[in-house]
A = this chain, B = another copy of it.
């Protein structure tokens, strides 16, 4: 095996990223944030650590960056709180952990990993997930940690309405503020992780696709690892991530062919705006999206880095 057969890709959400709203200095901040998270994940792979630890490091860096809708930058829900979702999956043994609607936890993806490794369950929700976190020694962060002027202003604008709003978009019906990472490590193991703060002003304890194994997050050494960002409900109903895995496993398609069918044909047909990042067992990376843009970055098998927002 190639001694440096490692590769990684990350995303910071997709959507209608209007160029006129993205000033040159803000664009630079996004690109720097993506690059730093990408390098944090890649550094783990270079140390011959696992792809699971690499996606964890990359997603934690994105959660800690207030620009992205996850962790510190999570949006405000209908009652002015931050309810976050995250999931992680290991392609080696198909072990997975997911947390839905948890509050006051700095890095929800780290809690998802603890659920994967320290609980008998895959998916824990809301208050119960918070209790599990406390039992596992997670620090409880005050609400203030999650306060950012930008998110607060977004919420103030719509909080007395029935609207909910997504990140990175002017259209209130899109829901694409999500971060994620996929990686291949030196032992040939794939992993995927996804984290999100959901929709501004969201109500009713809505669970999107991000934390659903097979929909927004999936990893399997025999096929690929995937993290999605898009209109969560349509991604859920389409079981997007596992669909790509099955097109590879059962139909013999390449990663690129499978991504093309799912993102540019099946999702487009039902109005499912968004995108995903994917890596296969050979280290091929795809980052397809059918929205105007997707915050994304990768370092391929050759060590070549790419950081982009638009097509």
Contact = CB atoms under 8 A, between A and B. Distances in A.
A128 B206 contact: yes
Contacts of A236: 96, 122-123, 213
A303 interface: no
Residue of A173, A233, A247 contacting most chain B CB atoms (<10 Å): A233
A125 B126 contact: yes
A53 interface: no
Contacts of A44: none
B123 A207 contact: yes
Given A89-B237, A101-B126, 13 more contacts: A100-B100, A100-B207, A121-B206, A123-B236, A124-B207, A126-B127, A128-B204, A129-B204, A131-B204, A239-B242, A246-B247, A246-B250, A247-B250
A238 interface: yes
A15 B173 CA distance: 43
A79 B212 CA distance: 26
A203 interface: yes
Contacts of A129: 204-205
A60 B213 CA distance: 28
A206 to B, nearest CB: 5
A22 interface: no
A207 B101 CA distance: 12
Contacts of A101: 125-126, 128
A177 interface: no
A122 B239 contact: no
Given A250-B251, A251-B250, A205 B127 contact: yes
A239 B239 contact: yes
B125 A94 contact: no
A132 interface: yes
A305 interface: no
Contact of A242 (B128, B207, B243): B243
20 contacts: A96-B236, A96-B237, A100-B207, A101-B126, A120-B233, A121-B204, A121-B206, A123-B212, A127-B205, A128-B203, A128-B205, A212-B214, A213-B236, A213-B239, A214-B215, A214-B239, A218-B239, A243-B246, A246-B246, A251-B251
A94 B205 contact: no
Interface in A79-120: 89, 94-96, 100-101, 119-120
B237 A122 contact: yes
Contacts of A243: 242, 246
Contacts of A218: 239
Residue of A95, A203, A207 contacting most chain B CB atoms (<10 Å): A207
Residue of A124, A236, A247 contacting most chain B CB atoms (<10 Å): A236
A126 B204 CA distance: 8
Contact of A205 (B124, B206, B238, B247): B124
Interface string A207-242: 110001111001000000000000011001111001
